[in-house]
Structure formats: structure tokens, C-alpha cells
């Protein structure tokens, strides 16, 4: 039977192949009371499983596959950390002893408890770490059941089958030779989960959040994965299959051709230069940035230096990371965003309150201003690194003048501190602000007056303008970059910044989506920052755009209020 599933697109491209169902330990474990005198034996059984799991993870660490992504070590470290967390091991032991229950049940109860704590995190990235907790417990349960990890693909028909999993840990994903699978599908996960990050770095079509794919798809079913659309066609008919095969080979050809654009300048047909920069999470992303000919780094999400670890990086560690990126880019602009962290993520043992509206709570610059030591340490590291390249400092989530003034005072104080310590920095390092709160867009003048550059974070700007939680897939269909209110704010900021002579870029996901390149160019945007893999296709779109030709259509889009009309005009713009 043929049917189609829809999920969240994570990594684009088309994969065609037979399904290989990846088994997972059932977390629906049974609950039973141990016979008298068996409690210590059960604790020993748990300890043996924990020990074996620890050894397996350590072995993985020591025998890291050569194609492992930069995040590999961090994943393993995180999983080892979770394994040793008292909330898992010690709490499960205590529960067995107190309640005389079986070890699997004790583990499951502790896992549920920990998952609930993770769910309360404000930051979506940290919240998704609950998946890592589940994956670690799955690993222990597998060990208890005497099962091995994910088996290699057994589908007979393909050299490259498509992995279908309820969930798969990044560590397991990275362990699989990338060439073993043509695509990756999971029931769980969000676009910023570790698994999604690894899938993207493997450059395989990937769709997550498919809910019941693992249940509905049978081993060896024929699958088409459209990673760009988040669509999976199960057992397609011959005609559909032929169509997608054609599209697959066309995409491959296009990908090869795009490589030729690596060193060409991004200029529109009428000769207007456009800057195409890359978004990165870690210094290790630099190779991909260079491979795709980025003109600079438009957004280094520095908070990623914080994740997967217990302790905050000190000034020296941050300095080294920022210097590495600055030097690696050989004088090209490197825009480093100060920590965009939520309130709860640095809190020890969950002692602080959990915000009831985390996205509206103490996050990003609000948190930095509330935690002066944290902010000061980062600013000193950034300023010190600024002499090693073209570093610009970008501040997230600013809402208006008061926060801008406070931030600039912090920077001035950090400079004085460095002077006193006799440490060098670039005294005229540029300071920019992210426009990602509607209030910021609407009080643009405060920003253009006081800052050197602006960067529009459309991911948050859309979320806050439309009151749609960007991490909630139940309202994902309402998350609309083409909503007239969003277009109005974008136009207001880009036009206003251009008039004020302040450089402005877009670094949210909208910047890398080809459907919006011309629209943004038409509005007046000349600087884009996106995932490195999107750069060459965007450059091609720029090269084939004639600004005078799209001006009228863009203006009509900005005046339109009917969503159908707006989409219709967008289609014309992209025709
Ligand atoms: C944004 O909000 O568009 C942005 C680039 O920041 P982040 O996705 O890290 O919130
Ligand atoms: Mg943001």
C-alpha cells in the first residue's frame, strides 16, 4: 500500500531506497516485585549493566570513526555524564532497595523524572537533551537484555538503505558509516536535536518528527525521502518513483555544478554586490565554511561552547575558541554573538525557578546583564581575540535603549579592565544588535543611533510577532515568514537601516531559504548569513536576480494582505 508521511525537514536532498528498521529497546518495561533475598542481586545486575554501558561508550570514544563529526566527542562525553548522573544510577539503586522493584523499572522511573526536569528548560536546544537521557537509558536497557546496539543494515535490495528509527542517538548515528545509509527518518526529534545536527553534518536527506513512521513502515518497504519538503513516500507507484529518480539525478548534477561557484563573487545581474556569510555553532565548523566559499561568519552562536558540559568555559578557553575562528577566517568578518542562553540552563541542580513562559523569560542579553560575571568574562575573551582577526560582537534579544546602553557600558568597562591588565584588544571593534523582538524592530532608531550594525533573527522575530512557539510542532503550520506583519517589520528594519547607513543582515533560517532570497533582495537586503551548505545555492539565486526587475513585485508583496495573493506574487518573483 502506498502512503505519504509528513515530518520536519532537517537535511535536504532526495533519497530513494528500501527501509531498514532500526530496532530500539522497548521503554515499556515491565514492573515486578522481586522475590525475597533477590534485591542485592538486582542491584548487582544494574551495576553490571551500567559498567558495561560505560565501557561501551568509552570504547566508542577511543575508537572514534575517522569520519566522525566534530560533535562526536561531546556526544559521548554527554552520554557518559548522564550515565554517571546520580539521578540515574544512584537513584535507581536506591529505588530497587527501597521498593524491591526490578532494575528496568527503577531506571525507567528515574529516566521519566529526569526527562521532566529537562522539559522545563527554557532553551529548546537544552530541552532536547532529554532525548540524550532517553538514549542513554535505552542503551543500558539493551545491555540488560543482552542486546547489542543498532545492528548494521540488513536490507538486501540496496547498497544504501534508508534508516527508519523511532529515535536514534547521535552517537549511534555517527558510528554508522555515512555511506551505509541513503537517508535518515525518525519519529522523534526536533530541528535542533543532536541527531538532526549530525544528520546535517552527514549531508544525508533527513526528516524527523514523523511520529509513527517506525510503526507504519515495514522492513524493505520502498521509500522516497524528500528532505527539503519533509515528505516520505512509502511504496510509491512506478510513475512517482521514476519522477523522483529523475529529480534525484538532477539534484546531484546541480550539486556538482554549484561547486563551480565557490570562488565567484555574489553579484546580481545588474551588478549589485551581495555578501553571503555563514552561521556556525563551533570553531570546528570552519572547514565547511571555507569549502562553501563564505564571505565571512555572520553568526557564531557562541552559546554552543556551553552545551554538553558541566562547567562554563573560562576566559582563556573562550579566548582560544574566538581567536581560532578569527584567525581561521584570515581577516574576513567574524560576527560572534554573545551567549543566547536561557535562565535555567546554567542553574545547578534545578534549584532556580522554572519560567512559565521560557521564551519570554530571562534569556540572552537579559541573562547576561543579570549575570555580570558571565557577561564580563565573555566580553573580555571576545575583545582579546579581536586583535587576531576581524571580530564583530553581536548582542542577541535586545529590546530597546536601556539594554543597549547597559550593554555598551559593560563593553566599555571590559575595555578599561583590559587596559588595567595591559591586555590588547581592538578599540574600535564593531558592536551590533540582533533585531528579533518586534519592539526592537519598531524602535529601530535607538538601534541605528547607537550600534555599528544590525542582524535580523527571523526565527525569533517571527515567533514573537505571530506568538507561535518555534519549537512546538503543533503550531508549526502557523509559523509563517510571509505573514504581512512579518514582511512589514522586515521591510521597516532593512529600509530604515539602509537609510541610516548601518549594515544590516538576516541570520535567521529565512536567509538560507531560496524561496525568500529574491524577496529579501527586493526589500533591500545585501547581507545574508546561513548554514554553510546553503551558501552556493543562494549565490546562484543572487547571480540570476535582476534587482530592477523584481522591484515592482516586491513592493506589491509588501502592500498585499491576502496570504494567497502574497504566495502568488512570491511564485512570480521566483519564476
Ligand atoms: C534567530 O532568532 O533568527 C537567530 C538567528 O537566532 P537563534 O536561531 O539562535 O535564536
Ligand atoms: Mg534568536
User: Tens of pLDDT along 106-130?
Assistant: 888 888 888 878 877 877 777 778 8
* pLDDT level of residue 453 (50, 70, 90 thresholds): very high
Catalytic residue among 79, 368, 507, 531: 507
Pick the atom of ligand 1 nearest to 460's CA. Answer: 2
In 10 A of CB 395, how many CB atoms? 23
Give distance in angstroms: CA of 244 to centre of ligand 1.
33
Q: Is the pLDDT of residue 155 over 80?
A: no
pLDDT above 90 coverage of the chain, percent: 57
What confidence tier does 351 reach under pLDDT thresholds 50, 70, 90?
very low
Compute the average pLDDT of residues 261-267: 96
Q: Which atom of ligand 1 is nearest to the CA of 463?
A: 2
Is pLDDT above 50 for 548? Answer: yes
CATH C-level class of 266-573 = alpha beta
Q: Is the pLDDT of residue 188 over 90?
A: no
> Quick check: CB of 301 below 6 Å from ligand 1?
yes
Whether residue 146 has pLDDT greater than 80? no
The string of pLDDT tens digits covering residues 511-545 is 998 999 999 999 999 999 998 988 999 999 999 99
Residue 183 has φ and ψ, to the nearest 5°, of -160, 165
What percent of the chain is modeled with pLDDT above 70? 86
Three-state DSSP string of 141-210: HHHHCCCCCCCCCCCCCCCCCEEEECCCCHHHHHHCCHHHCCEEEECCCCCCCHHHHHHHHHCCCEEECC
Q: Return the higher-pLDDT residue of 262 and 471.
A: 262
Question: What's the predicted TM-score (pTM) here?
Answer: 0.70
pLDDT at 143: 82
- Non-local (6+) Cβ contacts of 153 within 8 A are 20, 161, 163, 180, 181
Task: Using pLDDT thresholds of 50, 70 and 90, give the confidence band for residue 26.
Answer: very low
Question: Domain ranges in the chain?
Answer: 3-24+150-238, 36-145, 266-573
Residue 492 has pLDDT above 60, yes or no: yes
**Long-range contacts, 265-271 (Cβ 8 Å, 24+):** 266/295, 266/538, 266/539, 266/542, 266/543, 267/542, 267/543, 268/521, 268/542, 268/543, 268/545, 268/546, 268/547, 269/543, 269/544, 269/545, 269/546, 269/547, 270/546, 270/547, 270/548
Higher pLDDT, 139 or 184: 184
Q: Please give the order of strands across the beta sheet that includes 3-6.
A: 3-6, 231-234, 222-226, 14-22, 162-165, 183-186, 206-208, 8-11
CB 338 within 8 A of CB 406: no
User: Which cell is 39 given?
Assistant: 534485591
Q: Which residues contact 506 (CB under 8 A, 6 or more apart)?
A: 455, 456, 458, 490, 520, 525, 527, 528, 529
Residue 39's pLDDT is: 92
- Residue 148: pLDDT band with limits 50, 70, 90: very low
In CATH terms, the fold of domain 3-24+150-238 is Glucose Oxidase; domain 1 (3.50.30)
pLDDT in tens, 383-417: 999 999 999 999 999 999 999 999 999 999 999 99
Output Rg (C-alpha) for the chain, integer angstroms: 25
Look up the CATH superfamily of 36-145. PtsI, HPr-binding domain (1.10.274.10)
Question: 3-24+150-238 and 266-573: same fold?
Answer: no
What is the Å distance from ligand 2's center to 461 Cα? Answer: 8
The residue to which cell 551581495 is assigned: 274
Look at residue 68 in the predicted model and tell me its pLDDT. 59
Residue 245 or residue 179, greater confidence? 245
Q: Tell me, what's the pLDDT at 270?
A: 97
Ligand 1 neighbour 303 (Cβ under 6 A):
no
Kindly report which listed range (39-53, 65-79, 113-127) carries the lowest average pLDDT score. Answer: 65-79
pLDDT at 147: 42
Task: Reply yes or no on whether the pLDDT at 363 is more than 80.
Answer: yes
Amino acid at each position: 500500500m502506498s502512503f505519504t508521511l509528513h515530518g520536519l525537514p532537517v537535511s535536504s536532498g532526495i533519497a530513494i531506497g528500501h527501509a531498514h528498521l532500526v530496532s530500539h529497546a522497548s521503554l515499556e518495561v515491565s514492573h515486578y516485585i522481586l522475590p525475597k533475598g533477590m534485591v542485592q542481586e538486582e542491584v548487582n545486575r544494574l551495576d553490571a549493566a551500567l559498567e558495561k554501558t560505560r565501557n561501551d561508550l568509552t570504547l566508542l570514544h577511543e575508537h572514534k570513526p575517522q569520519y566522525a563529526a566534530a560533535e562526536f566527542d561531546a556526544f559521548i562525553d554527554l552520554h557518559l555524564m548522564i550515565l554517571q548522573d546520580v539521578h540515574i544510577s544512584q537513584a535507581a539503586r536506591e529505588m530497587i532497595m527501597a521498593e524491591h522493584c526490578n532494575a528496568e523499572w527503577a531506571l525507567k522511573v528515574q529516566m521519566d523524572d529526569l526527562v521532566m526536569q529537562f522539559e522545563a528548560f527554557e532553551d529548546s536546544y537544552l530541552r532536547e537533551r532529554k532525548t540524550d537521557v532517553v538514549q542513554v537509558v535505552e542503551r543500558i536497557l539493551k545491555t540488560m537484555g543482552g542486546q547489542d546496539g543498532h545492528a548494521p543494515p540488513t536490507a538486501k535490495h540496496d547498497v544504501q538503505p534508508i534508516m527508519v528509527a523511532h529515535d536514534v542517538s547521535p552517537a549511534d548515528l555517527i558510528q554508522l558509516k555515512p555511506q551505509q545509509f541513503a537517508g535518515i527518518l525518525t519519529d522523534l526529534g526536533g530541528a535542533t536535536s543532536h541527531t538532526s545536527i549530525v544528520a546535517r553534518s552527514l549531508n544525508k536527506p533527513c526528516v524527523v518528527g514523523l511520529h509513527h513512521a517506525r510503526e507504519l513502515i515495514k522492513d524493505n518497504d520502498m521509500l522516497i525521502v524528500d528532505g527539503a519538503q519533509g515528505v516520505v513516500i512509502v511504496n510509491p507507484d512506478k510513475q512517482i518513483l521514476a519522477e523522483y529518480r529523475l529529480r534525484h539525478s538532477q539534484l546531484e548534477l546541480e550539486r556538482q555544478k554549484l561547486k563551480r561557484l565557490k570562488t565567484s563573487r555574489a553579484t546580481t545581474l545588474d551588478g549589485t554586490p551581495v555578501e553571503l556569510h555563514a552561521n556556525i555553532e563551533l570553531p570546528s565548523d570552519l572547514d565547511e565554511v571555507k569549502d562553501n566559499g563564505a564571505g565571512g561568519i555572520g553568526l557564531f552562536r557562541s552559546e554552543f561552547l556551553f552545551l554538553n558540559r558541566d562547567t562554563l568555559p573560562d576566559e582563556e578557553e573562550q579566548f582560544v575558541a574566538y581567536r581560532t575562528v578569527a584567525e581561521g577566517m584570515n581577516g574576513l568578518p567574524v560576527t560572534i554573538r554573545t551567549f543566547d542562553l536561557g535562565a535555567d540552563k546554567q542553574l545547578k541542580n534545578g534549584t532556580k525557578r522554572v519560567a512559565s513562559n521560557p521564551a519570554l523569560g530571562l534569556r540572552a542579553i537579559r541573562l547576561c546583564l543579570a549575570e555580570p560575571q558571565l557577561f564580563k568574562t565573555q566580553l573580555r575573551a571576545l575583545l582579546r581575540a579581536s586583535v587576531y582577526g576581524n571580530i564583530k560582537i553581536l548582542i542577541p534579544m535586545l529590546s530597546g535603549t536601556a539594554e543597549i546602553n547597559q550593554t555598551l557600558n559593560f563593553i566599555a568597562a571590559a575595555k578599561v579592565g583590559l587596559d588595567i591588565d595591559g591586555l590588547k584588544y581592538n578599540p574600535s571593534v564593531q558592536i551590533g544588535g540582533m533585531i528579533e523582538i518586534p519592539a526592537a524592530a519598531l524602535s529601530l532608531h535607538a538601534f541605528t543611533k547607537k550600534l555599528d550594525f544590525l542582524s535580523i533573527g527571523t526565527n525569533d522575530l517571527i515567533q514573537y510577532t505571530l506568538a507561535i512557539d518555534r519549537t512546538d510542532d503543533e503550531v508549526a503550520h502557523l509559523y509563517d515568514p510571509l505573514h504581512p506583519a512579518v514582511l512589514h517589520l522586515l521591510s521597516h528594519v532593512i529600509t530604515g537601516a539602509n537609510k541610516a547607513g548601518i549594515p544590516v543582515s538576516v541570520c535567521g533560517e529565512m536567509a538560507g531559504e531560496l524561496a525568500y532570497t529574491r524577496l529579501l533582495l527586493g526589500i533591500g537586503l545585501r547581507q545574508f548569513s546561513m548554514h554553510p551548505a546553503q551558501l552556493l545555492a543562494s549565490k546562484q539565486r543572487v547571480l540570476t536576480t535582476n534587482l530592477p526587475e523584481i522591484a515592482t513585485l516586491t513592493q506589491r508583496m509588501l502592500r498585499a494582505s491576502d496570504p494567497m495573493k502574497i504566495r502568488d506574487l512570491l511564485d512570480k518573483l521566483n519564476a
